[in-house]
């Protein structure tokens, strides 16, 4: 379980090998039941079942090292003011052969175990289950309501109900006299988020802890009130087993569970969770981070960006990014408008790189936008640069003209150009984030001479530039169309 975290820091670290098939997090991202990803003093943290957790300096390369006392299962974390509140479960969920359990909370000023301020407070019990109760006190999920500042906890498993209780955001204790409410059934690993007047309850459905045979998947319902009822997209109450799919198995990874939401900036969100089994990593449970999309008011898990050869198309007009070079006419000019049926048909070959590259300048070449005509100066090959590190959920990429090493780059005037050879310089590395509407934000790792973060912008129908990202404008949004032909 996890909660909304607003993270704006973007850092980098050298990467390692990763699977092109899954674009999984690199390093050693091995964890089960990850908490919300928290940012603390320039690093990212997530906690898991068993007491440990992961740390990342850039959000892409993850290593062990996060610490919390108490052991137990399925923690969650949230930042309130200048402190971090962690909730976790002591047994329950059938662990150790029983369903008796406790949910506990504790505070810390920092998540950095090397900081002199690193010291967790004594745990406070906020929920309890006994052996024959119809709810397990396990799988904690925290939400600080942005509308009124109230703090809520959901917990429970398939053994019975998912329950909701209110906590004191100043102490982490359960509000005195607060009675637990049943809000869902037939799921576990509950989480609450708020968006645009709706409260969303996310739960993990399916079977857990069976490796490559786990059927975990993430579902949700929504309500205008935090106390429910939580109804799915076809009107089913989650108290009666309803739930709209958010994320299921994908490719060679199975068992999506324990949802968490991270807001990067307006229009850019990520969802974190674990895969119960990654077939490319011996079937181990691993941390996953994917784009979080919103479609018709519902959260949907997006796909990781895949390497390939693309047309880069502006959402503004539908024109495509291309080199500023002379237009070379392709074979097959104008044909007769009429003609008999006896005309023999032949295949006209597409224009090739070899047909035009000798006409291109040798030095830097600027970039513009125009109608896409499948010409070599409009086809871009995008590949991850593993040694360049990354950002939350993805690696940095190089973008080159297909068949060449001519690389897209930012220059000191905050404009676009291509350089004859890719060198790995920061201005030649690109961050690619899927927006919540399915379009993309494209950003250079660095613009020479400034620390400002700029994105690729369509300043005019034919004029690309670099400027601050504005999700409300189609000028800031791009699409990638597979042009591997």
Q: What is the pLDDT of residue 437?
A: 98
Q: What is the pLDDT of residue 330?
A: 83
Q: What is the pLDDT of residue 430?
A: 98
The DSSP letter of residue 14 is -
In angstroms, what CA-CA distances link 67 with 29, 57, 76, 192, 299? 15, 16, 13, 24, 31
Q: What is the pLDDT of residue 485?
A: 66
Beta bridge partners of 88: 104
Q: Cα 386–392–397 angle (5° rounding)?
A: 35
Residue 473 neighbours by CB under 8 Å, 6+ apart: none
Q: What is the pLDDT of residue 15?
A: 33
Q: What is the pLDDT of residue 331?
A: 76
Q: What is the pLDDT of residue 342?
A: 61
pLDDT, tens digit only, all 485 positions of the chain: 434 444 433 333 333 333 444 468 999 999 999 999 999 999 999 999 988 999 999 999 999 999 999 999 999 999 999 999 999 999 766 666 678 889 999 999 999 999 999 999 999 999 999 877 789 999 999 999 999 999 999 999 988 999 999 999 999 999 999 999 999 999 999 999 999 999 999 999 999 888 899 999 999 999 999 999 999 999 999 999 999 999 999 889 999 999 999 999 999 999 999 999 999 999 999 999 999 999 999 999 999 999 999 999 999 999 999 999 998 888 776 665 665 566 678 888 889 999 999 999 999 999 999 999 999 999 999 999 989 999 999 999 999 999 999 999 999 999 999 999 999 999 999 999 999 999 999 999 999 999 999 999 999 999 999 999 999 999 999 999 998 76
Burial of 168 (0-12, 13-18, 19+ CB in 10 A): middle
Q: What is the pLDDT of residue 211?
A: 87
Token readout for 402 is 């297909």
Cα–Cα nearest to 55, from 69, 45, 47: 45
Cα–Cα nearest to 145, from 192, 206, 202: 192
Token readout for 277 is 């089994």
Q: What is the pLDDT of residue 368?
A: 98
Token readout for 222 is 């929504």
Distance CA 231, CA 208 (A): 24
Q: What is the pLDDT of residue 344?
A: 76
């Amino acid at each position: 379980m996890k909660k909304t975290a607003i993270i704006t820091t973007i850092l980098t670290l050298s990467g390692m090998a990763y699977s092109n098939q899954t674009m999984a997090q690199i390093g050693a991202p091995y964890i089960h039941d990850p908490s919300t990803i928290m940012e603390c003093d320039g690093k990212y943290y997530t906690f898991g079942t068993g007491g440990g957790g992961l740390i990342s300096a850039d959000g892409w390369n993850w290593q062990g090292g996060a610490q919390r006392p108490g052991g137990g299962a399925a923690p969650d974390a949230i930042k309130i003011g200048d402190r971090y509140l962690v909730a976790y479960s002591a047994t329950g969920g059938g662990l150790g052969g029983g369903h008796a359990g406790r949910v506990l909370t504790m505070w810390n000023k920092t998540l950095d175990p090397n900081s002199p301020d690193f010291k967790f407070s004594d745990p406070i019990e906020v929920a309890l289950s006994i052996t024959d109760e119809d709810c397990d006190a396990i799988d904690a999920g925290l939400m600080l309501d942005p509308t009124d500042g109230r703090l809520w906890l959901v917990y429970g498993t398939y053994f019975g109900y998912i329950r909701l209780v209110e906590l004191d955001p100043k102490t982490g204790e359960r509000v005195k006299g607060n009675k637990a409410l049943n809000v869902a059934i037939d799921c576990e690993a509950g989480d609450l988020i708020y968006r645009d007047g709706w409260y969303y309850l996310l739960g993990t459905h399916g079977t857990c802890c069976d490796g490559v045979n786990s059927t975990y998947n993430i579902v949700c319902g929504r309500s205008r009130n935090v106390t429910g009822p939580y109804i799915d997209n076809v009107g089913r109450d989650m108290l009666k087993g309803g739930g709209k799919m958010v994320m299921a198995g994908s490719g060679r990874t199975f068992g999506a569970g324990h949802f968490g939401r991270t807001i990067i900036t307006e229009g850019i969100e990520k969802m974190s969770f674990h895969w119960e089994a990654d077939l490319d990593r011996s079937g181990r449970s691993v941390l996953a981070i994917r784009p979080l999309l919103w479609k018709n008011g519902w959260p949907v898990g997006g796909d990781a960006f895949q390497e390939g050869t693309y047309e880069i198309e502006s959402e503004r007009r539908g024109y495509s990014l291309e080199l500023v070079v002379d237009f070379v006419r392709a074979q097959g000019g104008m044909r007769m408008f009429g003609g008999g049926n006896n005309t023999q048909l032949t295949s006209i070959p597409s224009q090739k790189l070899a047909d035009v590259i000798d006409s291109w300048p040798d030095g830097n070449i600027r970039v513009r936008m125009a109608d896409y005509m499948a010409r070599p100066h409009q086809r871009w090959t995008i590949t991850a640069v593993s040694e360049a590190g990354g950002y939350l959920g993805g690696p940095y990429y190089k973008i080159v003209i297909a068949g060449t090493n001519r690389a897209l780059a930012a220059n000191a005037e905050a404009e676009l150009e291509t350089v004859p050879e890719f060198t790995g310089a920061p201005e030649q590395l690109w961050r690619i984030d899927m927006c919540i509407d399915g379009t993309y934000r494209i950003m250079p790792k660095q613009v020479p001479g400034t620390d400002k973060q700029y994105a690729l912008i369509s300043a005019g129908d034919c004029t690309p530039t670099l400027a601050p990202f504005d999700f409300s404008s189609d000028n800031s949004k791009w699409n990638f169309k597979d042009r591997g032909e």
